[in-house]
Amino acid sequence: MTVTAESRALRRERAAAVLHANDAGSWTKASPRLYPHQWSWDSAFIAIGWAHLDVRRALRELEQLFSAQWTTGLVPHIVFRAGPGDPYFPGPEWWDCAVSPAARNLPVKTTGICQPPVHALALRRVWQLTPEALRPEIRPRVQALYPKMVRWHRYLATQRDPERSGLVTTYHPWEGTDNSPRWDRALARIEVAKPGPYTRLDTSELGDPSQRPTDWDYDRYLWLVGQLRECRYDDEQIYRQHPFLIKDVFFSAVLVAANAALLDLADLADPAATASDREDLARWAERGRAGLAGRFSAESGLCHDYDVRTGEDIRLRTFAGFAPIFAGTADAGQLAAQLRALDSGDFCGNPLLRWRLLPSTSPAEPAFERHNYWRGPVWPVINWLLWHSLGSLGCSARADEVRGDSLGEMATAGEFAEYFDPFAGTALGSPQQSWTAAVALDWLASG
């Protein structure tokens, strides 16, 4: 789909209006009502969007997020910044992160889990988009953020990978893709999930519960938070006793790409990037690539997650299977197999799809649900990562298609929605989702 110059300007204006409407001054609501606080990976994509409007504001977004970094290096998945007029559940009292010494002196309340580390990709993009005249002013701010990002990656490469497998262990479905069928079996093992009385706000806010996780899921999500709280969010204790430990190939792939992004920025960040940081980043990236290679199935052409507690492979066809692409694999055979899988009938080649975009779960999976959150819908940010990775891998024609189809999907649906029905192409989830508008701004400027 071609984007004419006129419609491009108009779309840019509409996307920018979403960011301005959700702007809280120094941070951005992930969406106006459903997600009124600062979310971690949302913030990184949002910074990319801001960079097209105001690079100073883009940096501020990341600085605010990293001001809530724990002493362990963890960057929390939500920073609770909205006031009482913006209700959200579960709020800070459910998490009670003050039980952890690593969070005790923070200026704000946060959750105690994290999300995929796309932040370094954002920092690199913000720098690329910084006009020459502003570089002397922006560079010291990049230098100040850099060691914080290294600490964040160090936390993931060590505390979240005590086995040094190159694969990050996640503790909770909210560490990325909430109700993905990837977690179904691990959640089903939890027999007694009695988190205590609670009232969900998300389903009443959205009006259509079929687009959100079920109450069965929520019982388990909240009960797992209780387990983490009991461990005082201490990684060693969590590793000893937590029932949900998954080697997540998507999360791990993002860390590989993010390590490469920090290496790209190392000269710029000098002297903030020490020689030993550079060595660590290179080692983590290498270990991550090797870890992912070990999870790759030549038969399916996909990478598979691994359940640490049961020792089982999680052999499902979801977007996460394309971890080698997201990590920028250097293996030509793997890349060819991934590209075949991507355009096969299981994914983008499925004839029922409205747009040739990567759905969160393959329509060929029994667990597929076209309207339900991470169980089928198309997520623009995932397709942004796909576009970005394909471009870096030299597959620019396929990358251009992802970009064109994504812009076509948003324009036709008439909404910067959280996610989209892969068959009808209609908007789902929250309207005016900040990270969707942000990636639209990046795509509109990139064609």
Catalytic residue positions? 178, 418
Q: Which of residues 20-39 bind ligand DGY (CB under 6 A)?
A: none
Q: Is 311 left (phi over 0), alpha (psi -120 to 50) or beta?
A: left
What burial class does residue 76 get, using C-beta atoms within 10 Å of its C-beta: 0-12 exposed, 13-18 middle, 19+ buried? buried
Residue 143 beta carbon to ligand DGY: minimum distance, rounded to whole angstroms: 31
Residue 202 beta carbon to ligand DGY: minimum distance, rounded to whole angstroms: 6
Give the count of beta carbons closer than 10 Å to the beta carbon of residue 423: 18
CB of 34 or CB of 102, closer to ligand DGY: 34
Torsion of CA 75, 82, 49, 112, to 10 degrees: 20
d(CA 169, CA 422): 29
CB of 174 or CB of 379, closer to ligand DGY: 174
Nearest residue to 319 via CA among 259, 402, 407: 402
Q: Dmax over Cα atoms in the chain, in whole Å?
A: 59
* Strands 296-297 and 302-303, sheet pairing: antiparallel
Q: At what angle do helices 135-158 and 275-294 cross, to 10 degrees?
A: 50
When asked if residue 50 is in the footprint of ligand DGY (CB under 6 A), the reply is no
The SS3 call for residue 314 is strand
d(CA 382, CA 380): 5
* Residue number closest to ligand DGY, CB atom: 174
Residue 177 beta carbon to ligand DGY: minimum distance, rounded to whole angstroms: 9
d(CA 245, CA 241): 10
d(CA 418, CA 381): 9
Residue 381 beta carbon to ligand DGY: minimum distance, rounded to whole angstroms: 13
Helix (H) or strand (E) holding 40: helix 40-51
Q: How many residues belong to the site for ligand DGY (CB under 6 A)? A: 4
Give the residue, chosen from 23, 178, 184, 365, that forms a contact with ligand DGY under the rule CB under 6 A: 178
Residue 281 beta carbon to ligand DGY: minimum distance, rounded to whole angstroms: 28
Residue 111 beta carbon to ligand DGY: minimum distance, rounded to whole angstroms: 8
Residue 5 beta carbon to ligand DGY: minimum distance, rounded to whole angstroms: 37
Residue 37 beta carbon to ligand DGY: minimum distance, rounded to whole angstroms: 9
Residue 341 beta carbon to ligand DGY: minimum distance, rounded to whole angstroms: 27
Give the residue, chosen from 202, 235, 401, 418, that forms a contact with ligand DGY under the rule CB under 6 A: 202
CB of 33 or CB of 154, closer to ligand DGY: 33
When asked if residue 174 is in the footprint of ligand DGY (CB under 6 A), the reply is yes
Distances (CA, A) of 344 to 224, 270, 347, 364: 36, 45, 6, 11
For residue 178, what are the contacts with CB-CB under 8 A and spacing of at least 6? 213, 217, 221, 373, 374
Torsion of CA 262, 263, 269, 270, to 10 degrees: 150
When asked if residue 205 is in the footprint of ligand DGY (CB under 6 A), the reply is no
Would you give the DSSP letter of residue 210? G
In angstroms, the first-to-last Cα distance of the chain is 11
CA 357 to chain centre: 17
The SS3 call for residue 427 is strand
Whether residue 116 is preceded by a cis peptide bond, meaning omega within 30 degrees of 0, is no
Q: Which of residues 75-94 bind ligand DGY (CB under 6 A)?
A: 77
- The binding site for ligand DGY (CB under 6 A) comprises 77, 174, 178, 202
